[in-house]
Amino acid sequence: MQVSPVKNQISRVLGESFSENDVLYLQDLFLTPGVHQIGVDNIIHIRKIIYNMLSALQYHQKAACLTLNNLALQPNITDIVKTLIMDDHLVNSDSLTLFFLDHFYFDFLWIEESQALLDSMWYEQFKQHLVDFNFNKSIPIVKVIFK
């Protein structure tokens, strides 16, 4: 698994078992506002790491995930795509903006950037809203890239 902050593109390769320095690096990644990137081969493995880190840190009160994967998320994690679809926030650009104004109260976000998500028409606008509303500077956003 490769982990890198998007800002400076320095990457770090993490093995199956983590050293103390790896744990400290991941802790910093999960607590530092900004966009960070993790390259993975296996969705189940990265979700396990994310769940374990969020549980161990006990810092984030409202975590969310943006994914088109059919694997269920833990009950305490908000599935943003389900919310967007159920509340018709993908109907037009104004309704997506309203979602950010009325419902985006998350303090941690991870995005599972699959090819299906990259191909969706609304994802670019979603990313732009993260920038426009300064979430990219105020909360940790972890982009999970599949190899």
Tell me which residue range forms the domain holding 18: 2-146
State the pLDDT at residue 35: 93
Q: What does the H/E/C string look like for the chain?
A: CEEEECCCCCCEECCCCCCHHHHHHHHHHHHCCEEEEEEECCHHHHHHHHHHHHHHHCCCCCEEEECCCCCCCCCCEEEHHHHHHHCCCCCCHHHHHHHHHHCCCCCEEEEEECHHHHHCCCHHHHHHHHHHCCHHHHCEEEEEEEC
Torsion-angle region of residue 34: left (phi > 0), alpha (psi -120 to 50) or beta? left
pLDDT of 1: 53
How many structural domains does the chain have?
Answer: 1
Pair 110, 50: CB distance under 8 Å: yes
pLDDT at residue 15, rounded to an integer: 57
pLDDT at 14: 56
CA–CA separation, 140 and 108 (whole Å): 5
pLDDT at 8: 46
Do you know the residue count of the chain?
A: 147
Dist CA 42 CA 46 (whole Å): 7
The CATH number linked to 88 is: 3.40.50
146 in Cβ contact with 41 (< 8 Å): yes
User: Which residue numbers in the chain have pLDDT < 70?
Assistant: 1-18
| pTM for the model | 0.86
Q: What is the pLDDT of residues 104-143, one digit of tens each?
A: 999 999 999 999 999 999 999 999 999 999 999 999 999 9
